[in-house]
Amino acid sequence: MPAFIRIAWKVVFDAVWHFSEDDGWAMASHVALSTLLAIFPFLIFGTALGSFLGADQFATTAVHFIFDTWPESIAKPISDEVVRVLTIPRGGLLTVSVLAAAYFASNGVEALRISLNRAYRVAESRPWYKTRVASLGFVLAGVLVLAMVSILLVAVPLAVRYAGTYLPWFNNLLALLDSWSLAGVFVMLTAGLIVSHLWLPDGHRKILDVLPGIILTLVAWSIGAYVFASYLATFANYVSTYAGLASIMIALVFLYIVGAIFIIGAEINAAIMKYKVKRMVMRSFRGTKESGTQAAETRKENIL
C-alpha cells in the first residue's frame, strides 16, 4: 500500500474513532441546540447595537449572511420568524433584555469552544470567566463586522451610482456587486472558521495546521446541505410527524449535521498533527526537489 494512502487511512480512522469515543455525536447535538438558541439573542443584540452605530440595515444583512447558506426549505420559516421578532421595538443598548441577549448569544460560542477543545484533544486551562469574556468578545466582534458590512452594502452602491453620473462605466459595477453577495458570505464563513479554529480552543495552532479541516468542513457542508435539501424535497414528511414543530425539528437536524461536520473537521486537523503529516509532506517535497537537483547535476556532468 502506498505511503500516502496508508497515512490518509490512519488520519481518517483516528479522527472518526476519536469523534465516536469522545462523545462527538453528543457534542454535535449540543452545538446544534446552542446555535439555534443563540441565533435570536445574537440578532436582537446585534440589531440594538447596529441601530446605536447607525447601521439600520443590520437585521436584513445579518439574516442574509446567516440564512443564505442554508437550504431554502429550512431557512425560510426561521428567517421569517427572525424578521418578525426584530421588528418589535426595544429599549436602548444597555437594557437588561439586550445585555441578556448578548450573554445567551455567547452560549453558542461556548458550545463551539468546548467541542473544539475535545476535538483537538486539549483540556481547558483558562478560568471560566476568561472564556466567557472571550465568547462575549466574539459575539461583539461578529456584530461589529456585520454592522460594518451592512453600512458598506448601503454606502458602496450609492457611491457607485454617484460616480456613474460622471463615469458611466461605473454602473457596470452594480451588477458585479450583486453577483458577489454569495462570494461575500463564503469569505465571511471561511474567515469565521479560521478564527474559531485558531483562537477558540485552548493551545496554539498555526493556520496551516487548521486549513485541511476547514477545507473539508466547507466542502462537506456544501454537499450535506444539498443532500439534506434533496431529502426533504423528495422523501421526508416532517409535518405529518411533528405538526407545528416541523420547522424547528428540521432546523435542529440540519444544525446537528452541520455541527458533526464542524467537529470532524477539527478531528481531522488533530489527527494530522498527531501523525505529523505536514512534516512528512514537507520532507517528501524536499526529497523530491533534491532528487530533481541531483538528476539535473548528473545530466550536466554527463554533457560536460
DSSP per-residue codes, 1-42: --HHHHHHHHHHHHHHHHHHHTTHHHHHHHHHHHHHHHHHHH
Contacts of 22 (CB under 8 A, 6+ apart): 118, 119
Average pLDDT over residues 278-300: 55
- Domain assignment present for residue 293? The answer is no
- Domain assignment present for residue 47? The answer is yes
- Domain assignment present for residue 51? The answer is yes
- Domain assignment present for residue 300? The answer is no
Q: Which one, of 110, 117, 119, 122, lies nearest residue 21 by Cα?
A: 119
109-160 tens-digit pLDDT: 999 999 999 999 999 999 999 999 999 999 999 988 888 877 777 776 677 6
Range of the domain at 96: 3-275
Task: Tally the domains of the chain.
Answer: 1
- Domain assignment present for residue 187? The answer is yes
Place of cell 440564512: 67
| pLDDT at 232 (0 to 100) | 81
- Domain assignment present for residue 248? The answer is yes
- Domain assignment present for residue 304? The answer is no
Contact 147, 49 (CB under 8 A): yes
- Domain assignment present for residue 256? The answer is yes
Distance CA 198, CA 207 (A): 7
Q: Is the pTM of this model over 0.85?
A: no
Contact 67, 79 (CB under 8 A): yes
| pLDDT at 66 (0 to 100) | 82
Contact 255, 36 (CB under 8 A): yes
Helices (H), the chain: 3-21, 24-53, 58-67, 72-86, 96-119, 128-164, 172-179, 181-199, 207-234, 238-242, 246-274, 277-303
